[in-house]
Structures are given as structure tokens and as C-alpha cells.
Amino acid sequence: MLNSVERLLFIRNVSMFKELRDDFLVRLASVMDEVFYEGNYTIITQGQEGRSMYIVVSGRVSVHIGGQQVAQLKQGECFGEMSVFDAEPRSASVTTLDPCACLVLTQQQLYDAIDETPGIAVNVIRLLSRRIRELNQDLNQIKQQVSQPSPFPQARPQWYQPLPFPPTEPLARPGS
């Protein structure tokens, strides 16, 4: 468990909170709860309502949609921020890969923080923009892979005639 000084030093290094005043970070650190999870524990379930975001203090988590992992997050990275802002169901599940400690910031705490220090909103926008750019790059790579020409001919030769199924007459056997 982090003491107040360790918590402040940790939060200061989280990208979302960089460039913010220490007096603000001290107040923010004091309202955040620290929670602990065992390995292979599902913190967030896709489709459920969510009103909190999390910052990984220690350990690693897997962000996955269905059975497909889309990201692995480690110390200092956050998750769950989208539902805090848009009040939509969670877009992915998050499961611990190791025992983890996380700091939790509720929707109301985040809104209060933004009211007091609007710079935090700019940092959250940067975080979300970076994630959208990464997803766009991944999507573009997939599109390029799919659009590669196939080594197999797409058009059938003119002589090709498909047989009816089921056959209208028996197939001839060799020697008959």
C-alpha cells in the first residue's frame, strides 16, 4: 500500500496527470482509493455499466474484447476512462495477468478534478487521441493485409462449368 508521499510521486508520473500543480495532485491523491486484485481477476466486464477509471500501480492487466486481447497495460497506465466520460457500457473487459494494485478515480472525483484544474481534461483528450491513433494504425494494417492480391486466381477459366448438385444424371465411370 502506498503512503501519501509515494502516492503523490506515483501520480505525478502518470501521463494523464503530468504538468499539473503539486497542490492539486496532493488533493487528488488523497481522494483516490487503492484496491488490490489477485491474478486472473476480471476488474471490468465488457457491456457492464462503469463509473470509475483505474490506474495500474503494480502488476499487469489484459484488455480484451471477447476472447481477443487488444492491449496489455502496466504500471502507470490507465483503463476504464471511456465509460467515465460517455456513460456507455464498458467497451472491453480487463483482467489481471498478475496480482495488481490500482488506484481508482470515480466519475465524480474526475469531474471535480477537471472543474478545479482544466488541464487534466486536455491530458485525458491526449490519452484518448493517442489510443484512437493506435487503433487507426492497427485497422489500416489489417486493411492492407486483406487487400493484398490473392495467390489464387479470382476468375474461373472460360472452360469451367460447375456440375449441378445433386447430379441430374449418373456420373460416367471409367470403362463403362
Beta-bridge partner residues of 106? 52
Does residue 176 register a pLDDT over 60? no
Q: Global pTM?
A: 0.72
The amino acid occupying position 71 is A
Joined grid coordinates for residue 88: 456507455
Residue range 88-104: mean pLDDT, rounded: 95
Residue range 85-110: mean pLDDT, rounded: 92
- Residue 167: its pLDDT value, please? 66
pLDDT tens for each residue of 157-172: 667 677 676 666 666 6
Does residue 34 register a pLDDT over 90? yes
Q: Which of 97, 80, 100, 103 is nearest to 6 (CA)?
A: 103
- Residue 18: its pLDDT value, please? 74
What CA–CA distance (Å, rounded) separates 156 from 172?
Answer: 24
Does residue 95 register a pLDDT over 60? yes
Mean pLDDT for the chain overall: 84
Residue range 35-48: mean pLDDT, rounded: 96
A 10 A CB-CB count for 20 gives 19
pLDDT tens for each residue of 143-152: 888 887 766 6
